[in-house]
Structure 1
Amino acid sequence: MKKLLVSVLIIISMIASPMAIAASSAPLVDTAKLEDGIVTLSYSADARLKVIVEKDGQQMIYDLRNDGKAESFPLQMGNGSYNISILENVIDKKYKYITTKQVELELDDEKKVFLTSIQNIYWNDSMDAIAKADEITKGLKSDNAKIKAVYDYIINNVDYDYSKISTLPSNYVPNIDNTIASGKGICYDYSSLFAAMLRSRGIPVKLVKGYSKNVNGYHAWNEVYDSEAGKWITLDTTYDAELKAAGRAYSMIKETAHYSKVFEY
């Protein structure tokens, strides 16, 4: 996997050294699913929490629930040594380290991380969206046929929600069942739904954030692994749903050169 050069969008001022600090409940960095390329974190606090996943000087920064409910985060920057930290807000944008744990990732196939359920691509077999994925791909033999079935379902059944973007909290993460039930969403919802549905079918999919020549402003789309071609291909269900709604021509596979990646999950 190519290393992803990450530019951190959230600037955080840190105070205190990266060591464990006494708190009302013990922070948990669970590595039970490390063989799948993810870690699971939880912590209870009265303040806002952050997670920093760091490897070779590159950082991915996430919000973490402060109610103690566990969330999973990917180690998507390739095999090697990672530092996983939980931080707690002190004041304004200042955070203190609560705990840091070093883990070693040694996947035999680095695509495995893109099959998992994580914070912003959360799924399980009991969810309606996953039942729909099973329904629309039943009997299909090839990965490409399953990719096309999920792609067609989303662009035909999810409309862009122009009113949603202005009301979102800064820590918003998609809920794929809400997207299915409402039949609408923003690009983040489209790309999370597409990734979850195909990951549940055993097909590696990335949720990608960045910029596209086709879209104004910050955007989210997908890369899916084409097992027949042996490479990642770029798809943008949000853009194609809009083209379809406007009666314009569209094609499933996009020119990767038209997309500029900032983050991938």
Structure 2
Amino acid sequence: MINKKINTRFVALLLAIVLVLSVTPVPVFAAYSIGFATDKIQITTPSVNNTSYDKVLTIKGTSSEDRIWLCLRGPNGEVTVYPVDVKNGSFEKEIWLRFGPGKYTVWAGLNANRFDGKIRFEVQNTSDEDYFNLTPSGYVESESRLVQDVVKTLITADMSELEKARAIHEWVTKNIVYDTEAYYKGISAMNTATDIMARKKGTCRDYSFVFASLARAAGIPTRVVYGEAWNNVLKSYEKHAWNEAFVDGKWISIDTTWDAGYIKDKKFVIASNDKYFNMDKQSFAKTHKVTSVTLY
């Protein structure tokens, strides 16, 4: 009976937890002339093209909209998007130039997937340090106050790197509920880590954003991985997302979605465990195949 129960639960987990993860839209942007304003968005900082920065770019401006999007292209063609909330007509966004030294191009617009080039300027990153897996992205918000406050409650100075990662894994699996409505309706919206933490609900990509945010805030290099996970009911692989963290000199795999619980009668049951925390590579590879390490 025990084996049957475990198997049933595991099958349910495989069936329902694997996100129907649509391919992330690639932003379409125009590479026209330099510009800092439209009728709905005005960039006030920087105000001069080709300004040099050391690691971090701060963009300030005004807008008549509630949210705008910034698109960043790195020196080697890396493209990533940042949602930016507008408060009382103004916005300010700190962006880490995470793709190494060189020229970055910035666009601003009202659509996360399309930038018309009316606002377009370039900046230079002078730092040649590698901080890609330790700094925030548009959706992995390790710099946010909410994330920082949670980390303060979880991490102590005497913890090892593995103990820190485990504490964060436990928090995520106990505090984020799998969004069964999004799963069954095939909804795959992009959510920031703080939005997910505020709602306490998400699918696999959301779990990976939250874990990466907390881990980076705790000083653990962490990346968001896209891949395929084995569905034991359908006998096929489906799209999925999880994390890899650099702990004690090596990358370990962590799947907080699969460790969070299972679905029964279309309802999620929290049953936090650590089966997919630092599982040995051969065992993990039986159910997970990496297809890309994302820019998040």
Residues of 1 paired with 2:35 and 2:295: CA distance? 29
How far residue 146 of structure 1 moved from its aligned partner, in angstroms, is 0.9
Change (3 A) 1:45 1:137: closer
Change (3 A) 1:224 1:82: farther
- The equivalent position to 1:195 in structure 2, one of 203, 208, 212, is 212
- The equivalent position to 1:240 in structure 2, one of 259, 268, 278, is 259
Spell out the pairing of 1:28-67 with structure 2 (5 A cutoff). Answer: 28-29=45-46, 35=54, 37-46=55-64, 49-65=69-85
Spell out the pairing of 1:1-265 with structure 2 (5 A cutoff). Answer: 9-12=25-28, 14=30, 17-23=32-38, 25-29=42-46, 35=54, 37-46=55-64, 49-65=69-85, 68-77=90-99, 79-88=100-109, 93=114, 95-108=116-129, 110=130, 112-124=131-143, 126-127=145-146, 129-138=147-156, 140-164=158-182, 166=185, 172-175=191-194, 179=197, 182-208=199-225, 210-214=226-230, 217-226=238-247, 228=248, 230-242=249-261, 250-253=275-278, 255=281, 258-261=289-292, 263-265=294-296
Amino acid at match of 2:154: I
How far residue 17 of structure 1 moved from its aligned partner, in angstroms, is 1.3
Change (3 A) 1:73 1:164: farther
Change (3 A) 1:187 1:34: farther
Map Cα deviations across residues 30-87 of structure 1 (whole Å, 9 max, x no partner): 999954x44333443457544132322333344444654223334333x231323123
Residues of 1 paired with 2:186 and 2:90: CA distance? 26
Amino acid at match of 2:150: K
Amino acid at match of 2:127: E
Map Cα deviations across residues 220-259 of structure 1 (whole Å, 9 max, x no partner): 3222111x2x232221211222469579982312548622
CA contact (8 A) 1:52 1:61 kept: yes
Change (3 A) 1:115 1:262: closer
Amino acid at match of 2:95: F
Map Cα deviations across residues 174-207 of structure 1 (whole Å, 9 max, x no partner): 326x52x654322233222212222222222223
Indicate the SS of the match to 1:115: coil
Q: Cα RMSD between the aligned structures?
A: 3.9
Higher RCO structure (Cα 8 Å, ≥6 apart): 2
Indicate the SS of the match to 1:147: helix
Amino acid at match of 2:278: I
Change (3 A) 1:117 1:20: same
CA contact (8 A) 2:52 2:125 kept: no
CA contact (8 A) 2:208 2:242 kept: yes
Map Cα deviations across residues 121-159 of structure 1 (whole Å, 9 max, x no partner): 2245742x5333322333643111111111122223322
Change (3 A) 1:142 1:107: farther
After TM superposition, the structure 1 stretch with the greater mean CA deviation from structure 2, 143-152 or 60-69, is: 60-69
Larger Rg: 2
Residues of 2 paired with 1:44 and 1:52: CA distance? 19
Change (3 A) 1:123 1:63: closer
Residues of 1 paired with 2:274 and 2:221: CA distance? 27
Q: Which residue of 1 aligns with 2:265?
A: none
CA contact (8 A) 2:228 2:290 kept: yes
Residues of 2 paired with 1:224 and 1:132: CA distance? 18
Residues of 1 paired with 2:44 and 2:173: CA distance? 41
Residues of 1 paired with 2:246 and 2:186: CA distance? 33
Q: Which structure 1 residue ranges, 5 or more long, are not aligned?
A: 1-6
After TM superposition, the structure 1 stretch with the greater mean CA deviation from structure 2, 232-241 or 243-252, is: 243-252
List, as ranges, runs of 4+ consecutive aligned residues in structure 1 with deviation greater than 6 Å.
30-33, 246-249
Residues of 2 paired with 1:56 and 1:22: CA distance? 26
